[in-house]
């Protein structure tokens, strides 16, 4: 969701800004722009739509300079058009600002600035920042930025340049990720490490309240009282080829096919096979401390919320501890029962999801210990939580999460295994679970080897208008996730439901035009799901089933069947989600949808 890139050095800024913007296309955006110091002043180029349109505008009217900032915008205030695209400038054209986040008091500030003679040209909240800095400017850009920030309420990641203080970029963050990239005589600012990965592997992550000043000689991090701060330099261990398609038609397909490796990466070094338990170095608490919790609260959004539901089932079944799963966006506005006996697990692929981060902070304020499950090293949730586990899925570029979801489920099981063995799970049972976990990569690969079977099903249902996904037990959250994947990238209306709840409403929708996908592994609730399959067939519905064995009771009741390997019940979601991901992918491709950048969606949701 929105992307920021900035460069100061001795090379031409414009190509580097464009490259950085292209690397962040996966985040979701609807317009783009750059501001470059061209020798005499700040010059901007902006375009609605894809970065290719901005590139065309730059080719038609080039702008050169060795300092600049760029932005991809995901509209919040004002329509996605050229006027509302970033960067935004002040009245005199001396100051340019790019911004991620939302300025909540922009309306009030705008009225005050207009009263002082300022003229606004856009509908955005961001333009307020440029005018506030103009109002405060007295020769030093960082001082003016700091003074402006004191007046702002809301969230922001910003980068600012000025022709009146021309040899620096000033950046600041509050609630929206931002980092500095360190080069040889050149420096970068970005909202996403992928934007600068081709240029440097050394970064400094900014914390909320930080203000960074970048010059060709170096960088300084200040607080909002202009006091200098120390920030650690981190090394990025991702390879450039991890953020490129590598011969696949889309990032999403590449990431689906990476899952044997990413699941293995999440488990590597964390399983104690002989003891039937797991080792979690990032937990940052003793076994005695872990046993003192009375309950667990898991909070997340979207796909991560679905993994949380699976984690709830695991923890209550194996560790026998009460667990509640909450949408992060709802938790922060309730009055949840959270005490110092509560462990709050927060799940976010990016580690920057605004609602999840706010929910974690609320839980911490109420005395809970917090445990983060994230994919992005150095992310805000990773740095602010009391402990946690990186899922090690590598960069996930496709907006619709695939490999991060399956790795989150594994991370939750690793934690469950640790807690359950401390509480009540036998070593024998723990060992059995570990053996099945270790077999997962090969089983996932066996599903991927038969992807063509899923594509045949996709061809049959490419023109469907509605889909119903049904499952029970562990398969219910899997159904929710399968339905979400389909609606995200193919724009087909899809609902996930507990199979037994179908009778309480959704059964009214079933006819010969309604495909119903059942997740029916041979598990503890298999016989109950068979009854639900029969109810759908009796009403003329078309049934697709994800099964684990040849089931005589299903003969003649299925229109299409895809079989996955058998495994432990709690691991079935990892295997069952793979054909569901493939089905969504192939249907979307056949409908001509933009798989990696679905409309209206963003990869990292850093606003409410």
**Predicted pLDDT of residue 16:** 96
CB 389 within 8 A of CB 411: yes
266 has catalytic annotation:
no
| Annotated active-site residue in 2, 266, 301, 344 | 2
List the structure tokens of 126. 């961001």
In this predicted structure, which of 20-29, 30-39, 493-502, 564-573 has the lowest mean pLDDT?
Answer: 20-29
Closest among 584, 478, 604, 565 to 192, alpha carbons compared: 604
**Predicted pLDDT of residue 540:** 75
In this predicted structure, which of 61-65, 402-406, 523-527 has the lowest mean pLDDT?
Answer: 523-527
> Does residue 206 register a pLDDT over 70?
yes
Say if pTM beats, i.e. exceeds, 0.75. Answer: yes
2 has catalytic annotation:
yes
User: What percent of the chain lies above the pLDDT cut of 70?
Assistant: 97
> Does residue 603 register a pLDDT over 90?
no
Closest among 131, 100, 108, 102 to 118, alpha carbons compared: 131
Q: How confident is the model at residue 605 (pLDDT cuts 50, 70, 90)?
A: low
Q: How confident is the model at residue 30 (pLDDT cuts 50, 70, 90)?
A: confident
Please, which residues bridge with residue 518 across strands? Answer: 470, 545
In this predicted structure, which of 244-248, 473-477, 548-552, 584-588 has the lowest mean pLDDT?
Answer: 244-248
**Predicted pLDDT of residue 527:** 79
**Predicted pLDDT of residue 241:** 64
> Does residue 475 register a pLDDT over 80?
yes
E-only strand ranges, 38-113: 42-48, 67-73, 88-89, 95-100
Q: What is the 8-class DSSP label of residue 126?
A: T
HSE toward the beta carbon, residue 379, CA cutoff 13 A: 29
**Predicted pLDDT of residue 80:** 84
**Predicted pLDDT of residue 569:** 94
Please, which residues bridge with residue 67 across strands? Answer: 8
**Predicted pLDDT of residue 378:** 81
Domains of the chain: 3-236 (3.60.20.10), 246-448 (3.40.50.10490), 451-590 (3.40.50.10490)
In this predicted structure, which of 3-12, 72-81, 161-170 has the lowest mean pLDDT?
Answer: 72-81
Angle made by CA atoms 447, 601, 22, in degrees to the nearest 5 = 90
Angle made by CA atoms 524, 527, 528, in degrees to the nearest 5 = 90
| Annotated active-site residue in 46, 403, 537, 603 | 603
Stretch 177-194: mean pLDDT, rounded? 92
**Predicted pLDDT of residue 1:** 57
Stretch 22-27: mean pLDDT, rounded? 80
In this predicted structure, which of 352-356, 576-580, 589-593 has the lowest mean pLDDT?
Answer: 352-356
pLDDT tens by residue, 415-469: 999 999 999 999 999 999 999 999 999 999 999 999 999 999 999 999 999 999 9
> Does residue 229 register a pLDDT over 80?
yes
Burial code (b: 16+ CB inside 10 Å, e: under 16) for 337-368 equals ebeeebbbbbbbbbbbbbbbbbbbbbbbeeeb
> Would you list the DSSP string of 297-317?
EEEE-HHHHHHHHHHHHHIII
pLDDT tens by residue, 371-383: 999 998 888 899 9
**Predicted pLDDT of residue 236:** 82
> Would you list the DSSP string of 74-93?
--SSS-SSTTTSSPEE-TTS
**Phi, psi angles (nearest 5°) of residue 425:** -80, 135
> Does residue 185 register a pLDDT over 80?
yes
Stretch 350-367: mean pLDDT, rounded? 91
Q: How confident is the model at residue 61 (pLDDT cuts 50, 70, 90)?
A: very high
Q: How confident is the model at residue 242 (pLDDT cuts 50, 70, 90)?
A: low
- pLDDT, averaged across the chain: 91
pLDDT tens by residue, 109-121: 999 999 999 999 9
Q: What is the 8-class DSSP label of residue 207?
A: P
> Does residue 608 register a pLDDT over 60?
no
Stretch 176-183: mean pLDDT, rounded? 92
Q: How confident is the model at residue 602 (pLDDT cuts 50, 70, 90)?
A: low
Q: How far apart are CA 359 and CA 344, in angstroms?
A: 9
The stretches of 450-525 forming alpha helices (DSSP H) are: 451-461, 475-490
**Predicted pLDDT of residue 152:** 94
Q: How confident is the model at residue 479 (pLDDT cuts 50, 70, 90)?
A: very high
In this structure, how many other beta carbons lie within 10 angstroms of the beta carbon of residue 438?
A: 13
**Predicted pLDDT of residue 23:** 87
pLDDT tens by residue, 392-410: 898 888 889 999 999 999 9
CB 513 within 8 A of CB 465: yes
């Amino acid at each position: 969701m929105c992307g920021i890139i900035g460069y100061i050095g001795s090379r031409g800024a414009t190509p580097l800004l464009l490259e950085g913007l292209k690397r962040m296309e996966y985040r979701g955006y609807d317009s783009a722009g750059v501001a470059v110091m061209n020798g005499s002043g700040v010059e901007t180029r902006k375009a609605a739509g894809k970065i290719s349109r901005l590139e065309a505008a730059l080719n038609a009217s080039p702008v050169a300079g060795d300092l600049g900032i760029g932005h991809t915008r995901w509209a919040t205030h004002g329509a996605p058009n050229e006027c509302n695209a970033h960067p935004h400038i002040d009245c005199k054209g001396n100051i340019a600002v790019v911004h991620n986040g939302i300025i909540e008091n922009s309306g009030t500030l705008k009225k005050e600035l207009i009263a002082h003679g300022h003229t606004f040209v856009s509908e955005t909240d961001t333009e307020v920042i440029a005018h506030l800095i103009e109002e405060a400017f007295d020769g030093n850009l960082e001082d003016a930025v700091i003074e402006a920030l004191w007046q702002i309420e809301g969230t922001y990641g910003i980068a600012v340049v000025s022709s009146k203080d021309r040899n620096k970029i000033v950046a600041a963050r509050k609630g929206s990720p931002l980092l500095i990239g360190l080069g040889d005589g050149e420096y970068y600012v970005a909202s996403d490490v992928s934007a600068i990965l081709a240029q440097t592997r050394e970064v400094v992550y900014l914390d909320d309240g930080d203000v960074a000043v970048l010059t060709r000689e170096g960088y300084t991090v200040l607080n909002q009282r202009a006091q200098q701060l120390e920030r650690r330099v981190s090394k990025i261990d991702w390879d450039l080829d991890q953020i490129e398609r590598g011969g696949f038609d889309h990032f999403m397909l590449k990431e689906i096919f990476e899952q044997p490796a990413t699941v293995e990466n999440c488990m590597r070094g964390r399983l104690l096979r002989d003891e039937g338990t797991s080792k979690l170095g990032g937990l940052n608490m003793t076994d005695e401390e872990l046993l003192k919790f009375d309950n667990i609260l898991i909070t997340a959004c979207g796909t991560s919320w679905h993994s949380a539901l699976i984690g709830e089932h695991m923890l209550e079944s194996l560790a026998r501890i009460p667990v509640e799963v909450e949408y992060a966006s709802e938790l922060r506005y309730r009055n949840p029962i959270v005490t110092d006996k509560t462990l709050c697990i927060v799940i976010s692929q990016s580690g920057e999801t605004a609602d999840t981060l706010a929910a974690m902070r609320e839980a911490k304020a109420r005395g809970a210990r917090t445990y983060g499950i994230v994919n992005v090293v150095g992310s805000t949730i990773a740095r602010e939580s009391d402990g946690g586990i990186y899922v090690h899925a590598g960069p996930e570029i496709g907006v619709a999460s695939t490999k991060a979801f399956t790795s989150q489920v594994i991370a939750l099981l690793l934690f469950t295994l640790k807690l359950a063995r401390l509480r009540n799970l036998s070593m024998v049972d723990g060992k059995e679970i570990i053996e099945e976990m270790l077999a997962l990569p090969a089983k996932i690969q066996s599903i991927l080897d038969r992807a063509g079977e899923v594509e045949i099903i996709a061809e049959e249902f490419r023109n469907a208008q509605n889909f119903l996904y049904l499952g029970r037990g562990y398969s219910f959250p899997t159904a929710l996730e399968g339905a979400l994947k389909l609606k995200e990238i193919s724009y087909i209306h899809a609902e996930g439901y507990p199979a037994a709840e179908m009778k309480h409403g959704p059964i009214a929708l079933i006819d010969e035009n309604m495909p119903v996908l059942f997740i029916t592994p041979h598990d503890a609730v298999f016989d109950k799901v068979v009854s639900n399959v029969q109810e759908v067939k009796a009403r003329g519905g078309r049934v697709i089933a994800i099964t684990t064995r040849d089931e005589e009771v299903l003969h003649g009741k299925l229109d299409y069947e895809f079989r996955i390997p058998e495994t432990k019940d709690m691991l079935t979601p990892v295997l069952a989600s793979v054909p569901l991901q493939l089905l969504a992918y192939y249907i979307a491709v056949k409908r001509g949808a933009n798989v990696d950048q679905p409309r209206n969606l963003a990869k990292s949701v850093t606003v409410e």
